[in-house]
Structure 1
Amino acid sequence: MNMLSDWFAEHGWIEVVWLTIGFLAQAMFSARFLVQWIASEKVRKSIVPEAFWYFSAGGGAMLLAYAIYRQDPVFILGQAFGLMVYARNIYFIWSERRAGEPGHES
């Protein structure tokens, strides 16, 4: 237990908060693969469910925040680009749903 208290004394609570955000972000980001795998197994073909894009966006946004805190330009650029892709796919999902609503047909 002394090692843990020494680590806290050296790094402080802000580091604990950011490490927690980083680990939660990575868990959320990784969960999207579990969601995709389960959905594909159910129908016995490769599909990408809507939840995949929400986990991608949530995990990607949190990882971007973590990368900015860490001041890692490679990680920042990678996550920022990924967020654009996730946002675009969510936009397509919402647009398709809206187009199917009464009064929005083309």
Structure 2
Amino acid sequence: MKLHIYKVGPGHPPKEFQFKPGQSGNPRGRPIGRKSMHAIIREEMNRTIIVKEGKEISEISVKQALGRLWVNEALKGNIKVAKILIQFMPNETEGEFAF
């Protein structure tokens, strides 16, 4: 008969302190109503802001404002931003932007 010796150490708690079958390591879970970082960023990107271009004032989304900023930077000669914009170019078959 071969004995299996369980090594106790970092990431290997003693058997009596391990979770029992069906027992969760996080019994209360994530609080209800708490948003993930992805949800917060998506919400902020869709938020509208007021932008003034010359004498014209318009209300646009943060996503659209960032798009304008990137296009303007690319037109000024920023190659890194131009490469990023090329990746977001519309797919000719779908007519949609990649993001």
Instruction: Answer yes or no: same fold by TM over 0.5.
Output: no
Structure with bigger helix share is 1
Structure with bigger strand share is 2
With the length of structure 2 as denominator, give the TM-score of the two structures: 0.30
Q: Choose 1 or 2 for highest CA Rg.
A: 2
With the length of structure 1 as denominator, give the TM-score of the two structures: 0.29
Q: Which has the higher contact order (CA 8 A, sep 6+)?
A: 1
